[in-house]
């Protein structure tokens, strides 16, 4: 088990790198206990969904893994471990990106922080937007993953009945939304439960705030989709034998059109003055436990360095 696990991490470096970024981001925003819970719950939900899909076609629709191409990878219950593990960072960064859209920003000099009250983090709006943003990631990822034989992913699966969106079925996208929403919902409830237990506890040990931490989630989300979009363009222009280059170029252009408005809206979140909280107009505890709501009050001499999630 250890040898195929190490092989997967070494020969799927993009998954390993994204996982490291996720652990850093999640630790900074919510601490290690919630990070561990996120990994466990997201893996369990994704594994159940993938097992159900390859055996019964639910919820992602029917698809088949090519185990000969996965002979060196760790496979759990018929599902590649690296594939299931990727749902942890994909779901969390989408959830965190949703909070970026729904929260005000604290901007001072060369620093940007996101101020997210617990009622926003654990809201239905954040759940739906986070699940949608993760589904958008799949609109870019799955069509190019379906062409894995033309790049370093490898030919690891296929749809017995290809869908109309560059071979990907609509059931697959619906399944991604369900898995994302389930994962986010579970962790929202766990966060609220932990926050209630932590009331009145000493907040020492909270991770230090990093400069520009408020931009980590949108940059991470953008990095994932732009990486996959870059692979799509590379394949489209590679001129490999047997490749329908015109179709893949259309796939790359379509993906670019999908991403452009989301990235522009994210940039506008930073630019618009109405989304900013001025330091002299807020009073936030210097260090608060995850789940604690920032207090927005017009006090003079408020803290220059807010505690953020």
Q: Which of 7, 303, 3 is nearest to 154 (CA)?
A: 7
Q: Measured between alpha carbons, how far is residue 186 from residues 34, 96, 231 in Å?
A: 11, 15, 33
Spatial separation of the C-alpha atoms in residues 68 and 109, rounded to whole Å: 54
Angle, nearest 10°, between helix axes 245-271 and 81-102? Answer: 40
> pLDDT value at position 307?
45
Question: Residue 208 pLDDT > 90, yes or no?
Answer: no
What predicted TM-score, i.e. pTM, was given to this entire model? 0.89
Q: pLDDT averaged over the chain?
A: 89
Give the model confidence (pLDDT) of 210-225 as tens digits: 999 999 999 999 999 9
Strands (E) in the chain, as ranges, are 64-65, 75-76, 79-80, 105-107, 112-114, 157-158, 276-277
Quote the pLDDT of residue 101: 97
Residue 164 in contact with residue 185, Cβ under 8 Å?
Answer: no
Phi and psi at 156, nearest 5°, equal: -100, -10
Return the exposure string of 227-266: e unless at least 16 CB atoms fall within 10 Å of the residue's CB, then b: ebbebbbebbeeeeeeeeeeebeebbebbeeebeebeeeb
Percent of the chain with pLDDT over 90: 79
Check whether 301 has a pLDDT greater than 80: no
Please tell me the distance from the alpha carbon of residue 284 to that of residue 295, in angstroms, as a whole number: 5
DSSP bridge pairs for 80: 75
**Across 269-287, average pLDDT:** 61
- Provide the 8-state DSSP code for 213: G
In the numeric block, the tokens 């926050």 are attached to 195
| Torsion angle (degrees, nearest 10) of CA 119, 121, 122, 124 | 100
**Lowest-confidence range among 6-10, 256-260, 265-269?**
6-10
Confidence (pLDDT) at 272: 82
Residues 6 or more apart in contact with residue 103 via CB below 8 angstroms: 114, 115, 116, 117, 120
Domain boundaries, the chain: 2-281
Q: What is the mean pLDDT of residues 173-190?
A: 98
Structure tokens at 73: 């990878």
Taking the C-alpha atoms of residue 182 and residue 179, their distance in angstroms, rounded to an integer, is 5
pLDDT at 309: 57
Given this model, what pLDDT does residue 292 score? 37
Residue 240 has pLDDT above 80, yes or no: yes
230: tokens are 């870059």
User: Is residue 277 very low, low, confident or very high in pLDDT (cuts 50, 70, 90)?
Assistant: confident
pLDDT over 90 at 264, yes or no:
yes
Instruction: Kindly list the distances between the CA atom of residue 38 and the CA atoms of 112, 113, 191, in Å, as whole numbers in the listed order.
Output: 25, 22, 10
- pLDDT band at residue 297, thresholds of 50, 70 and 90? very low
Q: pLDDT of 58-102, one tens digit each?
A: 999 999 999 999 999 999 999 999 999 999 999 999 999 999 999
> Is the pLDDT score of 295 beyond 80?
no
| DSSP 8-state code for residue 157 | E
């Amino acid at each position: 088990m250890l040898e195929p696990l190490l092989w997967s991490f070494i020969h799927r470096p993009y998954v390993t790198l994204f996982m490291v970024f996720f652990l850093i981001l999640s630790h900074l925003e919510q601490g290690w206990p919630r990070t561990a819970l996120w990994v466990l719950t997201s893996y369990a939900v994704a594994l159940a969904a993938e097992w159900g899909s390859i055996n019964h076609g639910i919820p992602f629709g029917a698809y088949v893994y090519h185990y000969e191409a996965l002979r060196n990878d760790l496979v759990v219950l018929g599902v590649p471990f690296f594939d299931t593990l990727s749902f942890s960072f994909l779901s969390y960064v989408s959830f965190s990106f949703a909070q970026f859209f729904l929260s005000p920003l604290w901007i001072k000099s060369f620093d940007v922080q996101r101020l997210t009250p617990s009622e926003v983090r654990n809201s239905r709006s954040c759940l739906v937007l986070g699940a949608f943003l993760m589904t958008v990631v799949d609109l870019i990822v799955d069509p190019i993953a379906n062409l894995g034989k033309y790049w370093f992913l490898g030919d690891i699966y296929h749809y017995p009945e290809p869908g109309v969106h560059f071979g990907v079925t609509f059931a697959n996208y619906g399944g991604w939304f369900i898995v994302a929403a389930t994962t986010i919902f579970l962790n929202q409830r766990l966060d609220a439960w932990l926050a209630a237990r932590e009331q009145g506890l000493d907040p020492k040990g909270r991770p230090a705030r990093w400069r520009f931490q408020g931009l980590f989630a949108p940059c991470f989300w953008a990095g994932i989709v732009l990486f996959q979009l870059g692979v799509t363009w590379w394949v489209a222009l590679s001129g490999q034998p047997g490749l329908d280059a015109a179709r893949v170029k259309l796939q790359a252009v379509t993906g670019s059109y999908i991403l452009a408005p989301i990235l522009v809206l994210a940039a506008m979140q930073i630019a618009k003055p109405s989304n900013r909280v001025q330091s002299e107009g807020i009073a936030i505890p210097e260090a608060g436990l995850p789940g604690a709501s920032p207090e927005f009050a017009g006090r003079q001499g408020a803290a220059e360095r807010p505690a953020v999630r």
